[in-house]
Amino acid sequence: MKRFLTFIFCIAALGLFLYESREYFFPPRPCEEPIRYALGDFAGEFKVTKKYFLDAVKDAEAVWEEAFGRELFAHAPEEEGRDILKINLLYDYRQAATAKLGRIGTVLEENQESYDTLRSEFESLRRQYERDKNSLNADIKSFNQRQDAYEAEVKYWNDKGGAPEGEFNKLQKERQALEAEAADLKQTQTAVNKAAEEVNALVAELNALAKKLNLSVENYNTVSDSRGETFEEGLYVENGRQREINIYEFEDRAELVRLLAHELGHALSLGHVADPEAIMYELNKSENLKPTAADLAELRLKCGAK
């Protein structure tokens, strides 16, 4: 009898554990219930208030909620837990470079020779930056294709109830290879970003010096105006049930809202789409703040939106 009661107690305890942990083992599908989020780290160097930032998050939410027809996100500032999406505003070299462009001054002698020397250095650095950027973008495209193929293979076997041992081991090796490649790409992205900062600093120097010398020369633009890189100003990070959005750089509120909308799209499991005007396009170069047909097709695919 004692063994029987012990057995019953263990079964009850297991049942309680599984019930309390149901969201961990069986997480809701995208859009089935609102994603709860809270403000995480908040850098004061941006000179914006938390209300300003959260209002931008609300506008970014609306991009998807109006298209879907119901609440997809819910601000939960007082709640804790592994399923809370943390939205962080982080200050690093990206925003520092943006700020620097507005205040940098010339440190060279104010003559034609200095200008010519600086222009030569700038053009050399910009050409190298463009080569590195194009190579990186090609590598990112190749990585995304490989990752998509991996995810499709995982879904195929999941739909069949699980992969055989041989296929499972192959998938594990591919996952590890993808993680290693992602880490390498991140390092390369950091190097390219720093090169962009140097180019932009030289742009400011060149234009300021040309103005002081009253030269009739080209007014150079910063590379951020035309580089069209991936959404490096922000990043969606998912590690198991722990999820974060990190915002690194923005020039104005409209850019911040679009950036947040893109990363919130990733939180809904939306992937990149091919339309350059789409919120979920992989390159951040449009000013559009409305979901395009490509965005809506991805939303329907993941959420069943009409």
The total domain count for the chain is: 2
In the structure encoding, which two tokens stand for residue 126, read together? Answer: 């910009």
Q: Which residues contact 176 (CB under 8 A, 6 or more apart)?
A: none
* Residue 85 to residue 264: CA distance in whole angstroms: 10
162 contact partners, CB below 8 Å, separation of at least 6:
168
pLDDT in tens, 264-280: 999 999 988 999 899 99
pLDDT in tens, 157-167: 988 888 899 99
Indicate the helix (H) or strand (E) that contains 240. Answer: none
Q: What confidence category does residue 28 fall into, taking pLDDT thresholds of 50, 70 and 90?
A: low
- What is the Cα–Cα distance from 239 to 154, expressed in whole angstroms? 17
Q: What is the pTM of this model?
A: 0.54
∠ CA(189), CA(201), CA(125), 5° rounding?
60
pLDDT band at 244 (very low <50, low <70, confident <90, very high): very high
Which residue among 176, 197, 221 closes a domain?
221
Q: Which of 13-27, 85-99, 242-256 has the highest mean pLDDT?
A: 242-256
The greatest distance separating any two alpha carbons of the chain, rounded to the nearest whole angstrom, comes to: 99
User: Do 200 and 238 fall into the same domain?
Assistant: no
Kindly state whether residues 248 and 300 are assigned to the same domain: yes
Bridge partners of 36? 74
List pLDDT tens digits, range 182-230. 889 988 988 888 888 778 777 767 777 777 787 776 666 666 543 334 4
Burial bucket for residue 131 (CB in 10 Å: 0-12, 13-18, 19+): exposed
Residue 23 lies in a domain: no
Q: Helix (H) and strand (E) counts for the chain?
A: 8, 5
CA geometry: angle 41, 104, 52, nearest 5 deg: 30
Please, which pLDDT band fits residue 106 given cuts at 50, 70 and 90? very low
Query: Which positions ≥6 away from 144 have C-beta within 8 Å?
Result: 272, 282
- Name the domain boundary from 221, 250, 284: 221
Q: How many CB atoms lie within 10 A of CB 295?
A: 25
Residue-wise pLDDT tens digits, 65-105: 998 888 999 999 876 656 799 999 987 655 554 555 444 33
The answer to whether 252 touches 262, Cβ cutoff 8 Å, is no
- Tell me 224's DSSP state: G
Pairing of strands 35-42, 234-239: unpaired
**pLDDT, tens digit (0-9, with 9 covering 90-100), for 39-58:** 999 998 888 999 999 999 99
In a domain, 81, yes or no: yes
Check whether residue 155 and residue 211 sit in a common domain.
Answer: yes
CA distance 33 to 30: 8
Domain boundary among 221, 250, 270: 221
For residues 201 and 114, state if they share a domain: yes
> Do the domain assignments include residue 67?
yes
pLDDT of residue 233: 77
Domain extent for 204: 110-221
Angle, alpha carbons 135-251-44 (nearest 5°): 110
Q: What is the pLDDT of residue 79?
A: 65
SS3 content of the chain, % helix, strand, coil (to 5): 60, 10, 30
**DSSP state for residue 225 in the 8-state scheme:** G
Q: How far apart are CA 247 and CA 254, in angstroms?
A: 14
Q: Is 78 within 8 Å of 29 (Cβ atoms)? A: no
- Domain with residue 300: its CATH number is 3.40.390.10
Q: What is the mean pLDDT of the chain?
A: 80
State whether 241 and 176 are in the same domain: no
Backbone phi, then psi, for 283, in 5-degree steps?
-105, 135
